[in-house]
Amino acid sequence: MLTIGQLARAVGVSVKTIRVYHAKGLLPEPERDFSGYRRYTAQDAVELVKIRALAEAGVPLARIREFRSGSDAELRAALGRVADDLARRISGLQRTQERLRQLAAGDADQLPPGVREHLDRLRRFGFSDRWLTLQADLWTLVFATHPSAAPGLLRDQGESLDDPLQRQIFLDYDAAYELDAEDPIIDDLARRAVRATQERYDPGNLPGQDASSDIPALIQQAVNASSPAWRRIDTLIRRGLRS
């Protein structure tokens, strides 16, 4: 009944797409008329609509062909999984859309909300410019990669600065940058940091140690790279928290 062009228009695909599906064995080659043209039935159109639904859902063509050879029950189950996958992809795209709207609304080249204030506090407490730069980079990165978790983490960090004991540990950490890695001050600093962390957080619930976020670990690595002393403090703290 239908030529390849008519079928293509009916289903909303290109002629080439249909020919590719024939070549890959997704859609059986139909009868040819006396001049060699493919002639399609409505059943072919129904098949093509099904194939398109799967292809649009992101299923690779090779897997769609496998579906055709499986049993009806298998196919049913596979379709369910594909639909679930698609649901996840859709919500991913909705998050992408949200980010686009945010980018369209404001200029994201500035510091994330609250970070400016956080940095101002650090400056007043006497932290070094190096530490401030590092913190600016850190929070920019956390906000860019984990927009939902970032505000909570920043608030937590702000609270820990309220405690003079904690604050002193951070100040000492900052100052340790230029120390020799073997300096005994470093061992003392690491011990205090471990104790303070254990008092502040439940064990097994340390911020930045949860599986959902490896960003702090990355930051830590990047931080470590810049100073042998900082590298040693990190090693000692990790050892202390594990034992």
Which member of 10, 20, 79, 132 binds DNA (CB under 7 A)? 20
Which member of 20, 53, 175, 196 binds a second copy (CB under 8 A)? 53
Cβ distance 236 to 169 under 8 Å? no
Q: Which of residues 9-48 bind a second copy (CB under 8 A)?
A: 9-12, 41-43, 45-46
Residue 8 to residues 45, 53, 183, 227, Cα–Cα distance (Å): 9, 15, 75, 64
Which member of 1, 46, 49, 62 binds DNA (CB under 7 A)? 62
Cβ distance 7 to 41 under 8 Å? no
Instruction: In angstroms, give the least distance from the CB of 78 to a second copy.
Output: 9
Among residues 240, 239, 237, 238, the alpha carbon closest in space to that of 169 is found at: 237
Distance CA 24, CA 12 (A): 19
Say which entry of a second copy, DNA, none residue 205 contacts (CB below 5 to 8 A, set by partner kind): none
Residue nearer to DNA on the CB measure, 5 or 152: 5
Strand partners, 38: 32
Q: Does 86 bind DNA (CB under 7 A)?
A: no
Which member of 36, 164, 184, 203 binds DNA (CB under 7 A)? 36
Residue 44 to residues 2, 13, 141, Cα–Cα distance (Å): 10, 14, 51
Helix spans in the chain (H): 4-11, 15-23, 42-56, 61-69, 72-105, 115-125, 129-145, 150-162, 164-175, 184-200, 215-225, 228-242
Which member of 10, 45, 57, 61 binds DNA (CB under 7 A)? 61
Residue nearer to DNA on the CB measure, 17 or 128: 17
Three-class secondary structure of residue 32 per DSSP: strand
Which member of 83, 163, 187, 188 binds a second copy (CB under 8 A)? 83
Instruction: In angstroms, give the least distance from the CB of 37 to DNA.
Output: 4
Q: Does 215 bind a second copy (CB under 8 A)?
A: yes
The site for a second copy (CB under 8 A) is made up of 1-2, 6, 9-12, 41-43, 45-46, 49-50, 53-54, 56-57, 72, 76, 79-80, 82-83, 86-87, 89-90, 92-94, 96-97, 99-101, 103-104, 107-109, 136-138, 140-141, 144-145, 214-215, 218, 221-223, 225-226
